[in-house]
Amino acid sequence: MDTYEPPIFELSSPGKHGANLPELDVPAASLPTNLLRNDDLAAMPELSEVEVIRHFTRISQRNVCIDTVMYPLGSCTMKYNPKIHEEAARIAGFAMAHPMQGENLSQGALQMMYELQHYLGEISGFDAVSLQPAAGAQGELTGILVFRAYHLDRGDTERVEVLVPDAAHGTNPATAAMAGLKVIEIKSDDRGNVDMDDLKAKLSPRTAGLMLTNPNTVGLFEEQIQEVSRLVHEAGGLMYGDGANFNAILGIVKPGAVGFDFMHYNLHKTFTTPHGGGGPGSGAVGCTAELAPFLPGPLVAYNEKATADDNAYHFAYPEKSIGQMKTFWGNFGMLVRAWTYIRTLGAEGLREVSETAVLNANYIRVKLKDIYPQSFDRICMHESVLKGQIEGAPDVRTLDIAKRLIDYGFHPPTVYFPLIVPEALMIEPTETESKRNMDFFIEAMRRIAAEAREDSDILHEAPTNTPVRRLDEARAARQPVLKYDKVKFDKLREEGEARVHEVNMASVI
């Protein structure tokens, strides 16, 4: 028998429902006519409770997640999210707090935010922190808008260029362009660092700043970071730190101490707030005292002299603030989780996180480098970039290897990023993977290489045990079918596009 599961909309039968309401014990009242719906609800399925539960539980199990498998997705830091964070975020005083409730009723929540600002500042060596931005990319936009505001405030109107290394994450150039500035690309040298000659040639009185990730996007520490900072500052520019790779240097390097002026933290990467599927995330930002007046508000301030009648913790708006980046107080639930993480580990624990993350990444790199060529022959930081070019298997590509890993029960690593490495496979195990799990992963990668040489079709056909096989990823992203539409769906099926229904129709609705 096949595993056909009809889409939930087609299970509907009139009159079925899953709710039991008590008998009315007040006089019935009719709704005002302007609030009444005149048309029938289109295609709302009528189902029993068990049918609804099975539908949602089933589709939830199709989600690959860190709670079920190792997820070595480079640059994304898919570490395990401890469950104590969920408990903390569900404490009623946090979970039920209303964003419009007054400061006097929010002292505990404000204290948590104030302390988190302080911890993040301390860990990174910055003077001020704003918890506003919703994600790393929004933190970047915040930073570049702050750079622009800072230059303009000094009457420095010509600084309209942002330098971005060729290995950078796509959000960096996108951010600079979105802020209305011009993107200038900087080459990488043959050790994977910023090319100093290219940097010198492109710095000018038009430079607003440099956006740099350190460790960088090939998983390597920028060896000349202090010299890079000196040159940028000498040219009148500012240093933006993309903090997505902060997991490699906690308690070891303070970005503020090596020349960065501004940085975003991906609380959902380094500080274990859950992410994936686009949210929720938090891209808090830190900066020097010089840039602090431009930060987006509100920040949380503390008044030591407050009496019991005052609000010791209160919102404060920086004097030249670029404005608010996010409604209300940022993604508050994420802040509670990050606070809990920092308090659980303490300073030594955070340092151990980074030491272990770096050790794990190098363990995998060394165990695989005889089969998968390394992009740069150096000790890596928290992730390594290998190439999916297997000797003796010329028709196998990185994409095939990634898809085959799914059959072995692993989420694939990041592929084809950074763009400067051909057939890139970027592996980030994080500190939360045990040696045993990493050994399984290494064994899978070695077996896949053997399969590639012996019968490469196994790889070309992978994955074979998933509800859906290889999708047209560009089309899925650009023309997503997000709600069930029987006519559209039947048409796709006829055209052979919805091949997926043979395996499971429910997975495409």
Ligand X SMILES: *Cc1c(COP(=O)(O)O)cnc(C)c1O
Residue ranges in contact with ligand X by CB under 6 A: 75-76, 135-137, 169, 171, 213, 217, 242, 244, 266, 281, 283
Residue identified by tokens 């005292």 is 289
CB of 356 to ligand X, least distance (A): 19
Listing DSSP states for 258-283 in one string gives: TT-SEEEE-TTTTT-----TT-----
* Measured CA angle at 267 (ends 193, 334), to 5 deg: 170
Separation between Cα atoms, residue 183 and residue 210, nearest integer Å: 10
Nearest to 403 by CA among 58, 53, 64: 64
CB of 469 to ligand X, least distance (A): 27
Separation between Cα atoms, residue 474 and residue 471, nearest integer Å: 9
Q: Please, are residues 486 and 426 in contact by the beta-carbon 8 Å criterion?
A: no
CB of 413 to ligand X, least distance (A): 13
The contacts of residue 407 (CB under 8 Å, 6+ apart) are 462, 463, 464, 465
Using the minimum distance from each CB to ligand X, give the nearer residue, 159 or 268.
268
Using the minimum distance from each CB to ligand X, give the nearer residue, 175 or 398.
175
Q: Dihedrals φ, ψ of 302, to 5°?
A: -125, 130
CB of 232 to ligand X, least distance (A): 19
CB of 417 to ligand X, least distance (A): 9
Residue identified by tokens 């401890």 is 82
In the 8-state DSSP scheme, what is residue 311? Answer: -
Using the minimum distance from each CB to ligand X, give the nearer residue, 171 or 432.
171
**Crossing angle, helix 435-454 and helix 398-407, to 10 degrees?**
120
Using the minimum distance from each CB to ligand X, give the nearer residue, 76 or 250.
76
Q: Dihedrals φ, ψ of 491, to 5°?
A: -65, -45
| 267: its two tokens | 């609380």
Using the minimum distance from each CB to ligand X, give the nearer residue, 242 or 400.
242
CB of 119 to ligand X, least distance (A): 19
CB of 283 to ligand X, least distance (A): 5
Q: Strand 424-427 vs strand 384-387: parallel, antiparallel, or unpaired? A: antiparallel
CB of 170 to ligand X, least distance (A): 8
Q: Within 13 Å of residue 267, how many CA atoms lie on the same side as its CB?
A: 36
Using the minimum distance from each CB to ligand X, give the nearer residue, 214 or 456.
214
Q: Please, are residues 79 and 434 in contact by the beta-carbon 8 Å criterion?
A: no
In the 8-state DSSP scheme, what is residue 67? Answer: T
Using the minimum distance from each CB to ligand X, give the nearer residue, 143 or 281.
281
CB of 54 to ligand X, least distance (A): 33
Q: Within 13 Å of residue 457, how many CA atoms lie on the same side as its CB?
A: 0
Using the minimum distance from each CB to ligand X, give the nearer residue, 75 or 374.
75
Separation between Cα atoms, residue 100 and residue 462, nearest integer Å: 51
Using the minimum distance from each CB to ligand X, give the nearer residue, 173 or 467.
173
CA 63 remoteness from chain centre = 17
* Measured CA angle at 56 (ends 52, 58), to 5 deg: 115
Using the minimum distance from each CB to ligand X, give the nearer residue, 188 or 213.
213
- Number of residues that make up the chain: 509
Using the minimum distance from each CB to ligand X, give the nearer residue, 75 or 132.
75
CB of 361 to ligand X, least distance (A): 14
The contacts of residue 311 (CB under 8 Å, 6+ apart) are 103, 104, 107, 110, 303
CB-closest chain residue to ligand X: 136
CB of 166 to ligand X, least distance (A): 13
CB of 135 to ligand X, least distance (A): 4
Separation between Cα atoms, residue 242 and residue 405, nearest integer Å: 29
Using the minimum distance from each CB to ligand X, give the nearer residue, 294 or 417.
417
Separation between Cα atoms, residue 97 and residue 321, nearest integer Å: 26
